Amino acid sequence: MLQRFLDPKVLGGISGLDLVAKTVVDGFVAGLHRSPDFGFSQEFAEYRAYTPGDDLRHVDWNVYARTEKMFLKRYRGETNCQLTILLDMSRSMKFGSHGTEKIEYARFLAACLAYLAHGQRDAAGIVIFDDDVRNFVRPSTRQGQLPRILHAIESARIGTRTDFALPFRHVQEFHRRRGIVATISDFWDSPEKIIKTVEPLRFRGTELILFHLLDPEELRPKLKHPVLLEDLETGDTLEVSPDYAAHEYPAKIQAHCEDIKARARAAGIDYFLIDTSRPLDDALREYLAIRKGKQ
Amino acid sequence: MGFLAPWFLAGVAAVGLPIWIHLLKRHKTDPRLFPSLMFFEQREMSSVKHRRLEHLLLLALRVAMLILLALLFANPFLKRTPLAADGKKILVIAVDRSFSMRAADHLSQAKNASLSLIAGMKPGDQAQVLALGGQVQALTQLISDPAELRVAVESIQPSDSRASFGELARYVRTLSESTHLPLEVHLASDLQKSALPPGFADLRLNPSTTLVFHQIGQIAANFAVENVVAPQRIFDPKKVRVQATIASFGKPEAKPVTVKKNVSLVLNNKVLQTKTVEIAAGGRAQVEFLGLDAPYGFSRGEVRVDGADMLPADDRFYFATERTDPRKVLFIDAGRHPRAQLYYRAALDSSGDSAFQMEVMRPEIANNQEFSHYAFVVLDDIGTVTSTLEDALKKYVYAGGSVLIALGPASAAQPRVPVMDESIETASYAGREGDRFLNVSEIDAGHPAMRSVERFTGVKFYQAIHVTPAKSRVLARLNDQTPLVLERKMGEGKVLVFTSTFDNVTNDLPLHASWVPFVERSAAYLAGSGAEQPVNLVVDSYVELRTADSKSAAAEVLDPDGKRLLSLEEATTAKNFAVNKEGFFELKTASGRHTLLAAHADRRESDLSVIPQETLDLWRATGSDQNAPGASGSENQDKKPWPLWPWLLLLLLIVAMAESLVADRHLRPAADRPEIRKEAA
């Protein structure tokens, strides 16, 4: 199962790059910078007195044996970033014109991100949604977290329509710490609504990344004859002429992407359009390079 | 170019159908899945653009198919000049050799006219010689050898048949259709009016047939023995009457002229009587000869009219007769109905020619009787018939004898009719009081035994035996559907059953006028062997030689010259033969009966009146307008319609095949099309 997602070729391309946190607070890659906050890391920082409610796992029992007072060990965390992947499993994702459906591509992408986070000992979690939350793995660094995420990705089934409101509300509920929320979707909705839905997370210091997956056929449909198109999500049908598909539609989808991108930038959200015909490692490397450049 | 059925061209309107299909067809194929239709719009332009003519080649082929189909039904043709437009034609020389051509030297004149035509032929011209009688006989094939044609003309001999111009026209039509060449028909004939067919349409000639008449002879007065009525059999020579009709043909004179003619009755080349009659020109006279002292056996009779005329062959009329003793009739009676034999004998004796003598016999005596020398046997309700008597009677019937059976009260208790083997069901009774009786409701008036009985008018039947007709034919029925007269043919003979008695107890037939004709006709029918054939015939009549039952027995025919007409094979297989000349024919049928037949030419040939000129012109005009009086030839008249449908059909097949190929390429399901597969890949 792991082999399916963690393709050595893809991972080979990605492992040379570090995911570096853009913001001051959180960072992706350990060792590149010091976090201003303490995290769950190995380097000892200080002791503090135990107060009820603290996790007993962090009590330094050696000090307690000597002093009979309970102190908690605090460490300087090299990373304390929490990555939450939002994976869109709506019906529109089940489209692919060149052998790879968007959903498959999205799964690879989600697995790669989870693996990267796991390699940096970042807490990683995933929310699988369509018009509701279908599966949720809370971000954690515990042992076995990566297989859990990958299993969640693997077992995800195609749902119905896309609705960002519910999943993002759900994320807001548990995502109390600052971190990274990566949304993988084809974003077939109005840009205004998308940004309006995801923007509140940004206000809480969370970094948002929108991975916009589109099939080349969605970007540049090639029709030789007039065809009857059926909407995968709504089931509506429409007769489309080749002329329209060749001239007007690409302009509109391009404007749509540009609109999302502009609105995302205005809201401090990263937006990255991925053509699913592109090799995944190449796209991911490019994205990480762009992120690194931004820092 | 023209169309034989132009209204089918309306079918061309059907080309709108494929155009509509191609132009307006909605492209509603299987929907193609797409993630979102968010940025697609329903555009009118799109739909309009769809309505363009797709698959132009396919459309063109389909339109062509419909047009060709409509043209095919409209049956177009081209007017084409016949192959022989270069002046090549066939000469047909028809020489009339009918009975009337025996007049003077008419046949020689006709042959001379034909020979002069042959002499005028150009080298390479093809011709055929026909001999015209009752049938058209082609004496040569289409040949260009004048010598052979001359020999054929010279070999034509006069016949006793009647000419038929209808047959000639039919032959010429057939020849024209088979050769597709213009015909020039020369008819050398006396052009008798009587040779015309009943309908003028039978004279129709095909286009490009030229008819040229070579009239032989003139209208002339002619006397002929038109008809002779003489008895077929003579039983009492003193009672015989021979009646002859003498006719005068020819151009009516301004004043009625009466001519005296001597008419002789000749029997076996011996003049028996001669009488003088006066015949008006164009009229007829009757001569009657009383008594005919003929020897026993067949005699060759002849009625002659003296005085030479143009056609001496019709001055005599042959007839055949047979002198014979009255034939014996055996009346087997058990004594139950004493008046039956009285009535039956009285009826037989009252017939004109006294042909029968009746013997009465008891059944027990008849057991040992030889029946073959009886004309027929009558069983008068004798009830139980011994097997010996029945077997003897059956043997007699199968050998050609006849039995008449009357059924009465004695037969009612019997299970079946003797000899005939039909089952007896019951007896139908009607009370004599209160006018309750049965009448005859159905009768086969065409049967020889039932002629002149006038439906048994007024005859009352009080009792009849109900016989179920399983193998026999019902000749008369009573009004309660009880068969009254039945006939069954057995072997060469026949059995007639009368389901009532011959006395006036169970019916009152013997007291009615129908009784004597019934006895006379049935006796004559029963005494004859097989179907009675006339012995005086017209030339070209057919005579029956055998029935279906007498297949293997040989028949024999000797013509007037004493020659055998039938080959050995024909003698055992031929069912009939045609009397082809005047004179006496000796005939032995397959049933063994000897007959002398007299044949005479059709007397319509004696009327030498010629067809009016306007009729001849009309006939000639049926061939080609070019030949009509006052008409001149034109190109159109020489042209024949040349049908185009075979070519159109071929073209239609080719277009249909092409359409199939193109349609297969365009309309095959997308998954099966290589270019789509490639595109999908």
Q: What is the pLDDT of residues B300-320, one digit of tens each?
A: 999 999 877 888 888 889 999
Domain count, chain A: 2
For A252, which of B32, B39, B679 is closest by C-beta distance? B39
Q: Touching check for A219 and chain B: CB below 8 Å?
A: no
- Say if residue A165 is in the same domain as residue A265: yes
Q: What is the pLDDT of residue B130?
A: 92
Q: Among candidates B95, B17, B7, B19, which has minimal Cα distance to B51?
A: B19
Q: What is the pLDDT of residue B639?
A: 60
* Residue A33 is assigned to a structural domain of this protein: no
* Residue A123 is assigned to a structural domain of this protein: yes
Q: Touching check for B43 and chain A: CB below 8 Å?
A: yes
Nearest CA in chain A to B37: A231
Per the structure block, which two tokens stand in for B654? Answer: 């080719």
* Residue A34 is assigned to a structural domain of this protein: no
Say yes or no for a CB contact (<8 Å) between A239 and B46.
yes
Task: Spell out which residues of chain B touch residue A260, defining contact as CB-CB under 8 Å.
Answer: none
Do the domains B328-527 and B90-219+609-638 match in fold?
yes
Kind of pairing between the strands at B594-600 and B583-588: antiparallel
Q: How far is B660 from chain A (nearest CA, A)?
A: 22
Task: Look at A71-80, B33-42, B53-62, B571-580 and tell me which has the smallest mean pLDDT.
Answer: A71-80
Nearest CA in chain A to B34: A231
Q: Assign domain B328-527 one CATH number from 3.40.50.2300, 3.40.50.970, 2.60.40.3140, 3.40.50.880.
A: 3.40.50.880
Strands (E), B281-350: 284-290, 297-305, 316-323, 327-333
- Say if residue A142 is in the same domain as residue A214: yes
- Say if residue A198 is in the same domain as residue A160: yes
The domain of A97 spans: 2-26+80-294
- Say if residue A220 is in the same domain as residue A97: yes
Q: What is the pLDDT of residues B262-313, one digit of tens each?
A: 999 999 989 999 999 888 888 888 999 988 888 888 999 999 998 778 888 8
Nearest CA in chain A to B43: A240
Give the mean model confidence (pLDDT) for residues B322-333: 87
Q: Which CATH class is domain B90-219+609-638?
A: alpha beta
Task: Spell out which residues of chain B touch residue A240, defining contact as CB-CB under 8 Å.
Answer: 40, 46
Q: What is the pLDDT of residue B485?
A: 93
- Say if residue A166 is in the same domain as residue A286: yes
Q: Touching check for B678 and chain A: CB below 8 Å?
A: no
Kind of pairing between the strands at A227-231 and B32-34: parallel
- Say if residue A160 is in the same domain as residue A276: yes
Q: Which residue has the higher pLDDT, A91 or B255?
A: A91
- Say if residue A49 is in the same domain as residue A109: no
| Residue of A228, A233, A253 best to disrupt the B interface, most CBs of B under 10 A | A228
For residue B649, the surrounding DSSP H or E stretch is helix B645-667
- Say if residue A69 is in the same domain as residue A159: no
- Say if residue A47 is in the same domain as residue A150: no
- Say if residue A245 is in the same domain as residue A210: yes
Q: What is the pLDDT of residue B24?
A: 63
Block means of pLDDT (10 residues each) for chain A, length 295 residues? 40 35 29 36 62 81 88 61 86 83 83 76 84 84 83 83 78 74 88 85 79 90 82 84 85 92 88 84 73 58
Chain centroid to Cα A128, Å, comes to 11
Q: What is the pLDDT of residue B486?
A: 93
Q: What is the pLDDT of residues B50-89, one digit of tens each?
A: 545 557 788 888 889 889 888 888 888 877 655 544 567 7
Size of interface A-B (CB pairs under 8 A): 85
> What is the residue whose two structure tokens read 């040939």?
B605
Q: What is the pLDDT of residue B653?
A: 93
**For the domain bounded by B222-324, which CATH number is listed?**
2.60.40.10
Nearest CA in chain B to A228: B31
Nearest CA in chain B to A225: B50
| Residue of A158, A190, A212, A229 best to disrupt the B interface, most CBs of B under 10 A | A229
User: Which residues, 6+ apart, have CB-to-CB distance to B264 below 8 Å?
Assistant: B271, B272, B273, B274, B275, B303, B304, B305, B306
Burial of residue B146, with CB atoms counted within 10 A of its CB: 0-12 exposed, 13-18 middle, 19 or more buried: middle
Q: Touching check for A174 and chain B: CB below 8 Å?
A: no
pLDDT beyond 90 at B377: yes
Distance CA B314, CA B604 (A): 10
For A256, which of B30, B39, B43 is closest by C-beta distance? B39
Q: What is the pLDDT of residues B131-149, one digit of tens each?
A: 988 788 899 888 888 899 9
CATH number at residue A197: 3.40.50.410
Q: DSSP characters for B466-515?
A: EE--SSSEEEEEETTS-EEEEEEEETTEEEEEESS-SSSSSB-GGGSTTH
Distance CA B38, CA A189 (A): 8
Domain boundaries, chain B: 2-80+645-680, 90-219+609-638, 222-324, 328-527, 536-600
Q: What is the DSSP letter of B591?
A: T
**B94's torsion region: left (phi>0), alpha (psi -120 to 50) or beta?**
beta
Distance CA A66, CA A22 (A): 43
- Say if residue A50 is in the same domain as residue A176: no
For A238, which of B33, B37, B49 is closest by C-beta distance? B37
Per-residue exposure over B7-24, b if at least 16 CB sit within 10 Å of its own CB, e if not: ebeebeeebeebeeebee
B402 pLDDT band (50/70/90 cuts)? very high
Alpha helices in A209-279 (DSSP H): 216-219, 242-243, 249-266
- Say if residue A191 is in the same domain as residue A62: no
Q: Touching check for A256 and chain B: CB below 8 Å?
A: yes
Task: Spell out which residues of chain A touch residue B38, defining contact as CB-CB under 8 Å.
Answer: 188, 256
Q: Among candidates B259, B244, B322, B295, which has minimal Cα distance to B594?
A: B322
Task: Spell out which residues of chain A touch residue B35, defining contact as CB-CB under 8 Å.
Answer: 92-93, 95, 102, 186, 188, 215, 218, 231-233
Give the mean model confidence (pLDDT) for residues B579-600: 86
Say yes or no for a CB contact (<8 Å) between B49 and A243.
yes
Q: How far is B656 from chain A (nearest CA, A)?
A: 27
